[in-house]
Structure 1
Amino acid sequence: MDGSDLRIALLSGNYNCVRDGANGALNRLVATLLDRGAQVRVYSPTVRHPAFPPTGDLVSLPSVAFPGRSEYRVPLGLGPGARRDLARFAPNIVHVSSPDPAAHRAVSWGRRRGIPVLASVHTRFDTYPRYYGLGAIEPLVTAGLRRFYRRCDALLAPSESFAQVLRAQRMNYDIAIWSRGVDRTRFNPGRRDLAWRQGLGIGPDEVVVGFLGRLVMEKGLDVFAAAIDELRARDVAHRVLVVGEGPAREWLEDRLPDAVFAGFQAGDDLGRAVASMDVLFNPSTTETFGNVTLEAMACALPVVAAVSTGSTSLVENGISGRLVPPGGTRQFAEALRRYITDPEIRRLHGEAGELRARDFAWDRINGAVVDTYLRLLRRRPHARAPARPASPAR
């Protein structure tokens, strides 16, 4: 068997409604699968004005806006049309990428037919309640996730550190690694642009502490702001550059009135923005991999990050950045101070990170997913029977 034998039904909560690391990875995966001769059908909510064109055939699922985060959609289920389309498509692999109602129905659909079901885990949903004053329900969320993931034949985790967390939580015991790649033509030190910085009011000799990502509280914005306050209290000269958009932007602008907000950046503009920073500060503990960390490393930036899943698989403490216990405001500030005041250590750690980033090529990384699909099919030979040709997506 090879990739051309695969017929994959991919369930996504927001395949192209918004642009984030998870959706980018899924679209790149579909592109790789199609290049290898696989047939893929994606089932996901759709919106009138998506963030970007979808890769591959996309079948719309009924959905509602997520409460308080209307840019995201919650698929309510498969619906009769999607079920008919699934039956015609006749997949030999079901791949679910978020624990939503449609994914639950798809897991049941696959299990009833003896079709292998794979789940990729993109987000630490179990940690979200603590950022919204609901920490008491975290055990319930974890238990619900466990029930969902244990009904799957295998999981894909984006880093070994996160896979260890999933094993400790007894989510599943067949966990493969689907890492993330970085586009080196877009993210590299040569993208640094001092004229662009100057256009934002940042001088050529000012040291820039950067934040990159969606502006939502679960990204650790409160810790970020507190650490910057600590730097100011120590009279450490620096500038803050925030790249990204989100519902918490107004909150962060109020907390850091002197910061420069560059807004949403994409494509080559994003590579320029990252390379024009001097150090990336990523205090988030909800990352499963840390795409932004890898992108910064590819641009030869040292990274100050929380000790958490994802970051510990990318940043080598004291070599390519600094890892600080979550919420350690003063420790974050001290790590940032060292990079701000010592250009030589900033350069050395940035170069070490750039060297590490060379290991993350998308084709090889997505090939690991193909290998996992084929392994699951070999365990269920009856799932490999020839299927009818796919009908056009509707």
Structure 2
Amino acid sequence: MSTPEASAVSDEVTTYIANRIGFIELERPKALNALSTGMIRGMHAALDAWREDPDVLAVVVRSQHPRAFCAGGDIRFLYESFQRGDEAARDTFFIEEYRLNHAIFTYPKPYIALMNGVVMGGGMGISQGAHRTGGLRVVTGSTRIAMPETRIGLFPDVGAGWFLARTPGALGRYLAVTGETIGPADALYAGLADAYIDDTALPALVDTLRSEVFERGVDVVACVERETAAHKVVPTPDTSPLADTRAFIDRHFALPDVAQILASLEAVSGCEEAEWAEQIVGVLRERSPLSMAVSLEVVTRAEGAMADCLRRDLDLTRTSFAHGDVVEGIRARIIDKDNAPRWRFARIEEVRADDVAQMFESPWPAAEHPLADLQG
């Protein structure tokens, strides 16, 4: 095994080169590796340094902690910044996070994400782009994926709308609106993961990556594909919970707005679909009505470039904190934990198309947008 050739260490993220692979290791286990501004900067600095380095063939991002790959952004920090009126700190966090997401999405070398444990919110932002680099999104038996933002009055940001819009049928719309958590077989079925490996085999995979001889980035990817091919996920993707309920999901979540989706679900009775529909109705009645409507629209509008999605995400973070439910959602779910949020709209039926459209209005002129320079 080769020793690391270069190393940069902080309290929360470690980046180094070993065996011609750039390793990014998330080191904030007490917060389930929730991203801080410092972690975002550390990751981006490493990717920039390795972009043109001929001695780096590929990048591997991982967590050494069994509970989580990355549970998202630092929600408590965002809440506290709002409480002290520090809009600049909040803007800085989102701008730098979305720039990192874009850098990963457009990276010129294979980027491989080893997604064990909790992978939510911002964790999706630093993993899903691997699919576009010729790299891989690897899930394990412990992987739990979600964009649970509607639960706290936010929306699927970090460019996740782009990936959700490209899942089969109405799966992306369903996942965005409900914020439901899925397992590894579901992720493979939905096209949100590329390969599976048992958790117990992850250390051996990393050892192999540190010792095998590689000449090109594609050789690193081929090594991961070979090592993961020996592992089979249970249930299989085509018998996963998402696959089993796919017909139900498509029937209801293809409808044009959340009010119609809810009405359709509530109309189900006296068949095998009824129990599932009743459960989903319960989920939707608990989420932020405005956030669900915005989240559905995020997926609907995500047909274009990732750069456009990230600019729109930044606009929405501003309006979500200014006019939306996110502050109240974080208070109820994370800070006070009373689970009794007082949403801006009590019921989804009260949310009008104009209310949703206003959330998408950018506070910046196009030429002055903080992400105006992003392309692709």
Which TM-score bucket, shorter chain as reference? Answer: under 0.3
Question: What TM-score does the superposition give when structure 2 sets the normalisation length?
Answer: 0.26
Instruction: Indicate the structure with greater helix content.
Output: 2
Larger Rg: 1
Question: What TM-score does the superposition give when structure 1 sets the normalisation length?
Answer: 0.25
